[in-house]
Amino acid sequence: MRRRIGIDVGGTNTDAVLLEDDAVAAAVKTPTTADVTTGITRALAALVERAPATRDAQAAMIGTTHFTNAVVQRRDLGRVAAVRIGLPSGASLPPFVDWPEDLADLVRGEVVLLEGGHEFDGRPLVPFDEKGMREAARRIRVSGIRSVAVAAVFSPLNASGEEEAAAVLREECPDVAVTLSHRLGRIGLLERENAALLNACLVELARRTTRAFTEALHQSGIRAPLYLTQNDGTVMLAEAAEAYPVYSFASGPTNSMRGAAFLSTRGEALVVDVGGTTTDIGSLRHGFPREANNVVEIGGVRTLFRMPDLLSLGLGGGTRVSTGAASLALGPASVGYRLTEQALVFGGDVLTVTDIAVAAGLIDLGDRARVAALPAALVKEALARIRAMLEEGVDRMKTEASDAPLIAVGGGSFLVPERLAGVSEILNVPHQAVANAVGAAIAQVSGEVDQIFQDLSRDEAITRARQLAEGKAVAAGADRNTLTVVEVEDLPLAYLPGNSLRTRVRVVGDIAG
Amino acid sequence: MRPVAAEEIESLAIGAWILGTGGGGSPYLALLNMRQLYRQGVVCQLMDAAELADDDLVAVVSNMGAPLVGQERLTDPKTMALAVTMMEEYLGRTFRAVMSLEIGGGNSIQPFMAAAVLDRPVVDGDCMGRAFPEAQMTSFAIHDLKMYPLTLADVRDNAVVVARAASWKWMERISRKACVEVGSIASTCKAPRTGREIKDCAILGSTTKAIGIGRAVQAARRAHRDPIDAVLEVADGVTLFTGKISDIARRTTEGFLRGTAAIEGLDDYRGHTFSLAFQNEFAVGWLDGQPRVMTPDLICVLDTVSGDAIGTETLRYGQRVTVIALPAPPILLTPKGIEHVGPRAFGYDLDFRSVFG
């Protein structure tokens, strides 16, 4: 029997599930602890108690928002040396140029600009300045900086500049961690470099955290290999993933969408994840979240890489309802985790969306008598507002005009009405409160390519891109026989000669073995 | 002549992106350059064309190439200035000021980058009043001004002077070839213009206009008012349609991004469809199959909520957009102007009719 453990380490709760083939055998929810390890150990102990077979699992997958939070909260970040290869171009916009100052002050170490890089058609821009790289590497060794980010002009098309720089760094300072931008991002030097810099400032934390995860697993008597889940709903072996923390930035919402797809057995649907403060709406395509195609800001830094396309609404169970003189207003303020003290039904004095839901009989929580006096017109008006917000959000995230099914997950999913405009059916699924841990447990391995192809027909370009993507997936641990293409996108490019086509292909497959 | 505040450059970036009518390239990287320069103490001067002597010379500058290459080979002030100094060396004369080729998109800010390095003022104006895809689509071409010489500078110290060209089309072909050879990105200084030519043939005041549009959007956002209303008010525009992108098709032909977008109506426009055709910039719009708006009227597609302009490269299914039209500069509306930049210049067999009557 195939057994997988899925764990989601959130800001408030650590959830864990055991999946036996395609069935949820056990699920637990425990509070997250400051040291993370204790929370995971407790969750796993509870899981083993309910299902002793947990110890026989063949794989354990962890999803976490730990690294995003570190950037947003500006804590546990390491100092980074930035190496940009591309002079004489780009000299006026050095690394960190568009970072928020407080974050740059924490992270910016040595900044090195060197000659090298490539043209869009693969020709070298100028020869790579290896001597300069060697001198910089020696300075980095002396400076005591432990992590280096390397970005070269057009490295997604020709990575040799970044590879050569890495070779020099390995020789001169073998102990530093090296992040190469072409492994992380797409065309767009500043955004790709930013992703590499963010990654570099998190590698130390990622190493520590991943090792703590592994230890927690061992302490619980589980010998299965550990995988970390990624922004795109796939996994990487922990040893490999600890070098790429930015890949798990959005693993939380992605896992809950993937879990929703699995629990509902729907691959094409909208997902509404209602929490305490916000509601995330996403769209599933072939069982994976649709990705954002634009710049994504993390902690104020512009990046451009694989992230789910999510719409966040200021609506959750704790959202405040104010009844001013003019009219009724919902949020965006929320009582958050203080819901169980401040909401009317819990004896508090703040009117929240949860109180409205209880008054309307959508859910039975706390002391119902405390909301019995709410005017019926007010309850009706608030529910109409909630419906309108959800309908507008759902419509924004839809990919086609026809009605689509919608899966409701999260602790606040009782707020989703039975019917919504533009929605063909609303699916409530079992284990919806731990959908994210389920999403972690089912994660697969992926490979992606985003490259400019010239003088190839569209079909030829896509075939080439698919082959490259498949190679990447197999290298990341996928079983070649299970690979399927989940995304194909092509964009012809203005002003470039010949027939230039930017093609992006992503494939996924089951974990090999 | 007056100093330009750092905040005005921020406003310019927003306004110019709207005037880009879907093309012109994002001003983001040029804006970053200006922020760096202003941090170093630079303050650019904006000059009214009336302050030019008739025999002054003005450098018309622009970045040429593929926007995508520009995302890797980042634009820099020195290379921009180099195209101008090369032209001075070639002519054996000094420029009094620099001016933008097109006020739409990133090229609105390029002259400020050159001006900062060269310590010259920027003339308040351009020769398109928006963005256009081809070199002959300028007020200078409409006025039959000379199209040569042109200098083209590459960051690697490669430089090209196109000393003569038989026509605007030839100038476009020759300079495009050189541009592709140096990696599809280059700084260019177009044919030098006299003060007289600027006063008679440029589209004057367009820099101030772009700053004003950007400032209106910023003020509306701060006051939680509708930024699109603010644009319409400050630029005398009209709303043509509001809806959601329901289909996009793009293809590159002859080095241009061509394509169509369909918008499904929302709110007041529910039940109606708007379709747009573009060649880098939006060229024609049809309401329920009938031509509703066409070049040279400015067709701008804005994010319905934020008021941010949306480029033809970043149009995406499901976006909530509002299509607005802004009036074109009068020179583009003359019979000669329509010949250069009207619907037939883009291959649409339509008689030009402005939405502004």
Q: Mean pLDDT throughout A4-8?
A: 93
- Tell me: do A90 and A183 sit in the same domain: yes
Residues 164-193 of A with CB under 8 A from B: 187-190
Cβ atoms within 10 Å of B322's Cβ, excluding its own: 25
Q: Which of B78, B314, B318 sits opposite A294 (nearest CB)?
A: B314
pLDDT of A410 above 60: yes
Closest CB from A120, A190, A493 relative to B252: A493
Q: Is the dihedral of CA B264, B266, B272, B274 positive or negative?
A: negative
What band does B255 get if pLDDT is binned at 50, 70 and 90? Answer: low
CB-based burial, B251-287: b 16+ in 10 Å, e otherwise: ebeebbbbbebbbbbbeebeeebbbbbbbbbbbbbbb
- Chain A residues within an 8 Å CB radius of B80: none
Place A329 in a pLDDT band, splitting at 50, 70 and 90.
confident
Q: Give φ, ψ of B271 to 5 degrees.
A: 90, -10
Name the minimum distance, in Å, from the CA of A316 to any CA of chain B.
22
**A434 vs B50: which has the higher pLDDT:** B50
- What CA–CA distance (Å, rounded) separates B121 from B105? 20
Confidence (pLDDT) at A331: 78
Q: What is the pLDDT of residues B100-122, one digit of tens each?
A: 999 999 999 999 999 999 999 99
Q: How far is A273 from chain B (nearest CA, A)?
A: 20
Q: Are residues A320 and A464 in the same domain?
A: no
* Cβ neighbours for A462, distance < 8 A, ≥ 6 positions apart: A488, A490, A503, A505
Q: Across the interface, do B29 and A93 touch by the CB < 8 Å criterion? A: yes
Q: What is the pLDDT of residue A433?
A: 84
CA B268 vs CA A432, B240, B271: distances in Å: 39, 11, 9
Chain B residues with beta carbon closer than 8 angstroms to that of A90: 73-74, 76
Higher pLDDT, B229 or A237: B229
For chains A and B, CB pairs below 8 A equal 114
Q: What is the mean predicted confidence (pLDDT) over A171-178?
A: 96
Option in A93, A119, A499 nearest B183 (CB): A119
Query: In this complex, is the C-beta atom of A399 within 8 Å of any C-beta atom belonging to chain B?
Result: yes
CB spacing of B250 vs A491 below 8 angstroms: yes
B68, B156, B314 member nearest A88 (Cβ):
B156
CB A445 within 8 A of CB A476: yes
Local confidence band at A75 (pLDDT 50, 70, 90 cut-offs): confident
Q: What percent of chain A has pLDDT over 70?
A: 96
B:166-195 residues touching chain A, CB 8 A cutoff: 180, 183-184
Residue A242, domain member (yes or no): no
Band (B131; pLDDT cuts 50, 70, 90) = very high
Which residues from chain A sit within 8 angstroms of residue B252, using beta carbons? Answer: 492-494, 496, 499-501
Q: Which is it for the CA torsion A292, A295, A298, A299, positive or negative?
A: negative
A306 and A428 both lie in a single domain: yes
pLDDT tens-digit readout, B28-59:
999 999 999 999 999 999 999 999 999 999 99
Q: How confident is the model at residue A90 (pLDDT cuts 50, 70, 90)?
A: very high
What is the amino acid identity at position B195? G
Phi, psi of B304 (to 5 degrees): -60, -35
What is residue A234's predicted lDDT score, i.e. its pLDDT?
85
pLDDT for the residue B28: 94
The 10s digit of each residue's pLDDT in A362-403 is: 999 899 999 999 999 999 999 999 999 999 888 878 766 678
The 10s digit of each residue's pLDDT in A454-472 is 888 888 988 999 999 999 8
Question: What's residue A307's pLDDT?
Answer: 76
Minimum-distance CB partner of B318 among A86, A120, A398: A398
Structure tokens at B14: 């927003």
Give residue A357's pLDDT band: very low, low, confident or very high (50, 70, 90). very high
Two structure tokens written together for A291: 């990705």
Regarding predicted confidence, which is higher, A398 or A137? Answer: A137
- Residue A11 at interface with chain B, using a CB cutoff of 8 Å: no
Same domain, yes or no: A406 and A333: yes
Q: Is the pLDDT of residue A304 over 80?
A: no
Closest among A354, A332, A333, A329 to A343, alpha carbons compared: A354
Contact of A88 with chain B, judged by CB distance below 8 Å, is answered with yes
Average pLDDT, chain A: 88
Q: Does A295 touch chain B (CB under 8 A)?
A: no
Q: How far apart are CA A349 and CA A327, in angstroms?
A: 20
Most A-contacting residue of B38, B64, B72 (CB-CB within 10 A), to test interface: B72
Whether residue A55 is contained in a domain is answered as no
pLDDT at A293: 64
Name the pLDDT band for B235 (thresholds 50, 70, 90).
very high
The yes-or-no verdict on residue A122 having pLDDT over 70 is yes
Query: Which contiguous run of DSSP H or E holds residue A101?
Result: helix A101-107
How many other C-beta atoms are found inside a 10 Å radius of the C-beta of residue A6?
33
Amino acid making up residue A290 = R
Pick from B314, B334, B327, B310: nearest CA to B17:
B310
Express each pLDDT in B51-99 by its tens digit: 999 999 999 999 998 878 899 999 999 999 999 999 999 999 999 999 9
Residue type, A488: V
Please list every residue in chain B whose beta carbon sits closer than 8 Å to the beta carbon of residue A401: 246, 264
Shared-domain flag, residues A324 and A380: yes
The answer to whether the Cβ–Cβ distance between A494 and B67 falls below 8 Å is yes
Q: Looking at the predicted structure, is the pLDDT value of residue A295 above 90? A: no
% of chain B beyond a pLDDT of 90: 82
Pick the closest to residue A158 from A195, A200, A194, A116 (CA basis): A116
For range B9-26, the mean pLDDT: 95
Contacts of B67 in chain A (CB under 8 A): 494-495
Q: What is the pLDDT of residues A244-257, one digit of tens each?
A: 999 888 888 889 89
Q: What percent of chain A has pLDDT over 90?
A: 53
Q: Which candidate from A117, A153, A493 shows the least CB-CB separation from B66?
A: A493
Question: Which three-class secondary structure state does DSSP give residue A422?
Answer: coil
What CA–CA distance (Å, rounded) separates B32 from A9? 38
Instruction: For domain B236-346, give the CATH number.
Output: 2.40.390.10
Distance CA B49, CA A268 (A): 59
- For residues B176-180, give the mean pLDDT: 90
Instruction: Name the residue in chain A with its Cα closest to that of B259.
Output: A492
Indicate if the pLDDT at residue B273 is higher than 70: yes
Taking CA–CA distances from B156, the nearest residue in chain A reads A88
Shortest distance between the Cα of B339 and any Cα of chain A, in A, equals: 23
For an interface test with B, the pick among A85, A92, A181, A194 (most B C-beta atoms closer than 10 Å) comes out as A92
pLDDT at site A41:
93
| pLDDT above 70 (res A306) | no
Bridge partners (DSSP) of residue A398 are none
Question: Contacts of residue A499 in chain B, CB cutoff 8 Å?
Answer: 252
Q: What are the residue ranges of CATH 3.40.1610.10 in chain B?
A: 2-206
Q: Is B65 on the interface with A (CB under 8 A)?
A: yes
- Within a domain: A258: no
Give the model's confidence band at A327: pLDDT under 50 very low, under 70 low, under 90 confident, else very high: confident
Contacts of A497 in chain B (CB under 8 A): 180, 184, 255
User: B2-206 adopts what CATH topology?
Assistant: CV3147-like fold (3.40.1610)
Residue A43 lies in a domain: no
Domain that holds residue A493: 444-509
Q: Does B257 touch chain A (CB under 8 A)?
A: yes
Count of domains for chain A: 3
A404 touches B at CB < 8 Å: no
CB contact under 8 A, B244 and A395: yes
Angstroms from A242 CA to nearest CA on chain B: 28
Question: A316 and A193 in one domain?
Answer: no
Place B224 in a pLDDT band, splitting at 50, 70 and 90: confident
Task: Return the CA Rg of chain B.
Answer: 19
Q: Are A318 and A416 in the same domain?
A: yes
> Among residues A388, A408, A432, which one ends one of the domains?
A432
The answer to whether the CB atoms of A187 and B320 lie below 8 A apart is no
B21 vs A121, higher pLDDT: B21
> Is there a contact between B72 and A153 if contact means CB atoms under 8 Å apart?
yes
Residue B89 CB partners (closer than 8 Å, separation 6+): none
Q: Does position A299 have pLDDT exceeding 90, yes or no?
A: no
If asked whether residues A279 and A416 sit together in one domain, one would say yes
Q: What is the 3-state secondary structure (H, E, C) of chain B?
A: CEECCHHHHHHHHHHHHHHCCCCCCCCHHHHHHHHHHHHCCCCCEEECHHHCCCCCEEEEEEEEECHHHHCCCCCCHHHHHHHHHHHHHHHCCCCCEEEECCCCHHHHCHHHHHHHHHCCCEECEECCCCCCCCCCCCHHHHCCCCCCCEEEECCCCCEEEECCCCCHHHHHHHHHHHHHHCCCEEEEECCCEEHHHHHHHCEECHHHHHHHHHHHHHHHHHCCCCHHHHHHHHHCCEEEEEEEEEEEEEEEECCEEEEEEEEEECHHHCCCEEEEEEECEEEEEEECCEEEEECCCEEEEEECCCCCECCCCCCCCCCEEEEEEECCCHHHHCHHHHHHHCHHHHCCCCCCCCCCC
Do A303 and A402 fall into the same domain? Answer: yes
Chain A positions in Cβ-Cβ contact with residue B78 (cut-off 8 Å): 91-92
CA distance B298 to chain A (A): 20
Q: Which residue has the tokens 């525009």?
A: B237
Domain end residue (candidates: A412, A432, A452): A432
At A506 the three-state DSSP class reads strand
The pLDDT tens digits for B297-311 are 999 999 988 899 999
Residues B97, B123: Cα–Cα separation, whole Å: 6
CATH code where residue A299 lies: 3.30.420
A86 vs A178, A450, A455, B176, CA distance in Å? 18, 20, 26, 23
Determine contact: A286 vs chain B, CB below 8 A: no
d(CA B243, CA B276): 13
Q: Closest CB to A496: pick one of B244, B255, B317.
A: B255
Handedness of CA B252, B258, B259, B261 (dihedral sign): positive
- Domain boundary (A202, A225, A241) is at A202
Cβ distance B76 to A93 less than 8 Å, yes or no, reads: yes
* Inter-chain CB proximity B318 and A397 less than 8 Å: yes
Three-state DSSP class for residue A213: helix
**Listed residue (B276, B219, B214) closest to B243, CA to CA:** B276
For A227, other C-beta atoms within 10 Å of its C-beta total: 27
CA atoms within 13 A on the CB side of A451: 25
State whether B74 and A88 contact (CB < 8 Å). Answer: no
pLDDT at residue A496, as a whole number: 58
Per-residue pLDDT tens for A195-222? 999 999 999 999 999 999 999 999 999 9
What's the maximum distance between 2 C-alpha atoms anywhere in chain B? 63
B341 and chain A in contact, CB less than 8 A: no
Dihedral pair phi/psi, residue A503, rounded to 5°? -120, 135
Q: Do A496 and B36 touch (CB under 8 A)?
A: no
Q: Do A493 and B32 touch (CB under 8 A)?
A: no
> Does the pLDDT of residue A190 top 70, yes or no?
yes
